[in-house]
Amino acid sequence: MIRVISLCFYYGIFRFLPTSSFPYLGPTSMRLRYLCAKNIFAYCGSNVNVERGAWFGSGRGVKIGANSGIGINAVVPNNIIIGSNVMMGPNVEILVRDHLFNRVDIPMIQQGFTASKQCIIEDDVWIGMNVLILPGRTIKTGSIIAAGTILTKDFPEYAVVGGNPGKFLKSRKS
């Protein structure tokens, strides 16, 4: 019951409160969204920041580690795992499934969807603004996903990835 009430408060009111950086009201808004997230998510670590406008469906399967955030207007799926110390920029969108399109005898709109694939974001990851993450991706520890990237495949730990489609730019390890 607390979960349902928290969902109602989040989507009805708290989702529209100012961002965490807004003077005076920001920290209070951030705290209210965090209190809801603790009651909604499957796991919610300490010091988690769910920003203004973030969408996470029912949140039932969301697991998020300590000191991590879901960015302003971000859209994350129900079955995501987000590690600790993850920074997520505004307008990040994470997809869980695609349209089926293999048959040509019926319209694509009538073919349905692929099975859902879980996205995993490991610890110490920075995801820039306007990133699109396709279904089933794992973002490895220490990675940076540059703003505007469309992430279509997985990369090794400590990778800096950018572009459309996302390409390995360099390693953070020297």
The helix (H) or strand (E) run that includes residue 63 is: strand 63-64
The answer to whether 136 and 117 have CB atoms below 8 angstroms apart is yes
Query: What's residue 174's pLDDT?
Result: 76
Sign of CA dihedral 64, 71, 167, 124: negative
DSSP-assigned states of every residue in 94-125 = E----B----SSS-GGGS-BPPP---EE-SS-
Average pLDDT score over residue span 70-86: 96
In this predicted structure, the answer to whether residue 15 has a pLDDT above a threshold of 80 is yes
Query: What's residue 126's pLDDT?
Result: 98
- Specify whether domain 43-171 bears CATH 2.160.10.10: yes
Average pLDDT score over residue span 91-101: 95
Window from 2-6, 44-48, 126-130 with minimum mean pLDDT: 2-6
**Active site residue ranges:** 99
pLDDT in tens, 132-168: 999 999 999 999 999 999 999 999 999 999 999 999 9
Query: What's residue 168's pLDDT?
Result: 97
Stated pTM of the model: 0.92
Exposure string (b/e) for 103-137, b if CB count within 10 Å is 16 or more?
eeeeeeeeeeeeeeeebbbbbbbbbbbbbbbbbbb
Q: CA of 12: how far to CAs of 5, 53, 154, in Å? A: 10, 11, 36
99 phi, psi to nearest 5 deg: -75, 145
pLDDT in tens, 26-37: 999 999 999 999
Average pLDDT score over residue span 4-17: 95
Q: Quick one: the chain helix, strand, coil %, rounded to 5?
A: 20, 20, 60
Query: What's residue 1's pLDDT?
Result: 87
Query: What's residue 5's pLDDT?
Result: 94
